[in-house]
Structure 1
Amino acid sequence: MSHFTDAATRLCEAVRMLRHLATNLPEPIRIGFLGAGDDQRIIAGPGVAATQKAVSLAFERLGVRHLEYSHDAITRLSSFELFISRKISAALGFNYESFGVVEPDQAQQALIQDFDFSPPLPGIARSSLITRDGVLLNTYASADRQLPPIVLALPCGLPFELCRAWFQALGERYFVMAWETRGLFGACIDFDRLEVDADAQVADLFAVMDHFGHDSAHLMGICGGAAIALCAAASDSERVRSLSLWHGDYNLADDSLRTAHQRNFEWLMEAAAADRNEAGDLQMLFVDQATLVTTPEPIAHVALFPYTNAELFYRYSKLNDALNKTDLNALLKRIGVPVLVVAGDSDQTTHIGGSRHIAQVIDGAQLHVEENGSHLAFFEHAPSSRATAFRFMDRVVESEPALI
């Protein structure tokens, strides 16, 4: 691979990684090429025009057709545009002379045109289903359907990609199923007719099990997905074989068991769920570049997804507000399956006290506190976290009859 085609490949890989943001932002999207310093402005060289054409061509492959280049006005970019600009600039090695002078050469153009911006995921089958109330869900399944089944309940409203590494790791030992939250992914013309409460999300979980032919399965819930998994186990114990809850966001009617982040998030979701105008006003807060200061960079390309436009933010808020208003205390005594509750001693996102409470109230539940554990550490899939999940699951599977 030549230096020039290598630059085109790195550009395409960066654009593919940014697809959840770019395809949901209002156009035109402004992009500024940056220097290697902290958001340093570049000194334009003769190759910048050709580099712009290469970047535009790559984004066109996503369906994003209107870009504006603002190399001299970096401070005017939105938080989303600044993040995209940083990632594109870094992918190019802060070198804007790799695509010729006038336009990318033929090999570079051909590479961008032929690049797969939505490739098959190794060991993961993507499909979709229509729920009983007519909602299209994107679903994911690992390769070996003969392994014990487990459903991965993702954080509410965030893309599957956030947990892909965990999904693939679990797929080495289990048949893993997951789905993306109703109303936020794929076609959904009439969101206002959708059910958005916790019961609807629980029904989606069971619909995924039905879709892949499993009457029962183990459940693993992450952040807001932990609340969905809890509700599922309480609603139909016959279908749930075990429950592992990771860094859960729980409404336990006690603010001392919630971090400042959880309290702020609860207020934000309730306010934005009130109506679209309010959601639109609040969504503008996330346009400010300061948003990037509080968003972990390694996961920002997916964590920022539900904030990219007013309609998406409104839908995200409706679904999360309903989860936040679900009183989990009333459900805990109804959980009768093996339970693992995992929290991190360094987690500033969800409170360790909420996890302790869950583990204390559910009979026989096991609490595991991860040293230096946090949301970000979980999503970076530390080997020690995977080992904890496997130990619990293996012990449960060994103690029960083979699953059908």
Structure 2
Amino acid sequence: MKTERIALSTGVTLNVATAGPKDAPPVYLLHGFPESHRTWRGVMPMLEKDFRLVMPDQRGFAGSDKPHDLDDYRVDKLIADLLALADHQGHDKFALVGHDWGGAVAWAAALRGGPHIERLAICNSPHPLVYQKSIIDDEAQRAASQYIRRFRETGMEDRIREMGLDTFFEKSFSPHVDLAAIPDEERATYLEDWSGDGALEGMLAWYRMSPILVPAMDEDDVAYPEWMMSGVPTIRIPTAVVWGMDDPALLPCQLDGLEELVDDLSVTRIERAGHFGIWSHPVPFGKALHAFLSG
């Protein structure tokens, strides 16, 4: 795996990891919170022989630029980074894989119907329409999503620093994975990424700029937001959803109704894997992704 910082036409410089033959079919892999390109460390060995893997640290994360203006984290700018990176790499068409917030960017890019994405794979990241509806109507999912309200609070980054990054590490991952299974060097990499200037602010900006409405538990008669009422386009490209079924943040209800929103859909359920199954259970995720990306 090779990493380099690449200045994009969108005005940011991203730290980008690449692997696999340069002439192989390109696959762009987008990580989520609170991670980096290393999200894909477990599945990369299963994909790199047959695909050209491009794995950026998205803006606000790890080794990439961290703009200070919240407006710089609008979804259209996040998609623009992806397309600018593909243009820089000389890839007019590519497959797209996303996990968590990376999946949110991937869903949004596919919903815009551009000609660049040939295949879409999603790992534990909800379709925006399904997610928004469930947060309002499903009590269990609303409860599981209350952390978003806390991450949006003013001064949350300062409170994280006060509690200590070690404590934040444990709070972030202990509900999802066995902490003892995370090597010390991986823990050290996370702590180093989070301690950089503006790192916490950049990561939290993704929550603060998301259009998803998260009502408090005691709010009644919550109206659907306007964007939801206007509907979203049907996704026409082949799409695979690979889901860790023990995800406590994104419940299995996120799989309900997807077949009505995606024309060509396959769903693979990974039992006993949680939100970070992409690296805690890399073999079933890697096999599912390879099978789908191979067509």
Task: Please confirm whether the aligned pair reaches a TM-score higher than 0.5, indicating the same fold.
Answer: yes
Match of 1:202 in 2: 79
The CA distance in 2 between the partners of 1:156 and 1:211, in whole Å, is 25
The DSSP-based 3-state class of the residue aligned with 1:368 is: strand
Identity %: 16
Counterparts in 2 of 1:264 and 1:127: CA distance versus 1, 3 Å: same
- Return 5+ residue gaps in structure 1 as ranges: 1-123, 396-404
Match of 2:3 in 1: 126
- Return 5+ residue gaps in structure 2 as ranges: 214-224
Match of 1:348 in 2: 248
The CA distance in 1 between the partners of 2:139 and 2:188, in whole Å, is 29
Aligned residue among 156, 159, 168 for 2:36: 159
Query: What is the deviation of 1:158?
Result: 1.5
Are the aligned partners of 1:258 and 1:353 in contact in 2 as well (CA < 8 Å)?
no
The CA distance in 1 between the partners of 2:158 and 2:168, in whole Å, is 18
Query: What is the deviation of 1:307?
Result: 5.3
Q: Across the two proteins, how many residue pairs are aligned to each other?
A: 268
Counterparts in 2 of 1:188 and 1:237: CA distance versus 1, 3 Å: closer
Are the aligned partners of 2:242 and 2:288 in contact in 1 as well (CA < 8 Å)?
no
Structure with greater contact order relative to length (CA < 8 Å, sep ≥ 6) = 2
The CA distance in 2 between the partners of 1:336 and 1:137, in whole Å, is 29
Match of 1:148 in 2: 25
Query: CA-to-partner distance for each residue in 1:122-158, whole Å, 9 max, x for gaps?
Result: xx22222222232111112213021111110111452
Query: What is the deviation of 1:353?
Result: 1.3
Query: What is the deviation of 1:360?
Result: 3.9
- Residues 3-402 of structure 1: matches in 2 within 5 Å? 124-186=1-63, 188=65, 191-192=68-69, 195-251=72-128, 252-253=131-132, 254-255=134-135, 256=138, 259=141, 262-271=144-153, 274=154, 277-285=155-163, 289=167, 292=170, 295=174, 296=177, 297=179, 298=182, 300-301=187-188, 308=195, 311-323=198-210, 325=212, 332-395=232-295
- TM-score (structure 1 length as normaliser): 0.58
Are the aligned partners of 1:237 and 1:336 in contact in 2 as well (CA < 8 Å)?
no
Are the aligned partners of 1:258 and 1:354 in contact in 2 as well (CA < 8 Å)?
no
The DSSP-based 3-state class of the residue aligned with 2:258 is: helix
The CA distance in 2 between the partners of 1:286 and 1:249, in whole Å, is 30
Are the aligned partners of 2:103 and 2:126 in contact in 1 as well (CA < 8 Å)?
yes
Query: CA-to-partner distance for each residue in 1:72-129, whole Å, 9 max, x for gaps?
Result: xxxxxxxxxxxxxxxxxxxxxxxxxxxxxxxxxxxxxxxxxxxxxxxxxxxx222222
Pair member with larger Rg = 1
- TM-score (structure 2 length as normaliser): 0.77
Counterparts in 2 of 1:260 and 1:189: CA distance versus 1, 3 Å: closer
Query: What is the deviation of 1:343?
Result: 1.5
Query: What is the deviation of 1:372?
Result: 1.7
Query: What is the deviation of 1:306?
Result: 6.4
Q: Which amino acid aligns with 1:234?
A: L
The DSSP-based 3-state class of the residue aligned with 2:122 is: strand
Superposed CA RMSD: 3.1
The DSSP-based 3-state class of the residue aligned with 1:323 is: coil
Counterparts in 2 of 1:217 and 1:270: CA distance versus 1, 3 Å: same
The CA distance in 1 between the partners of 2:68 and 2:168, in whole Å, is 30
Query: CA-to-partner distance for each residue in 1:44-82, whole Å, 9 max, x for gaps?
Result: xxxxxxxxxxxxxxxxxxxxxxxxxxxxxxxxxxxxxxx
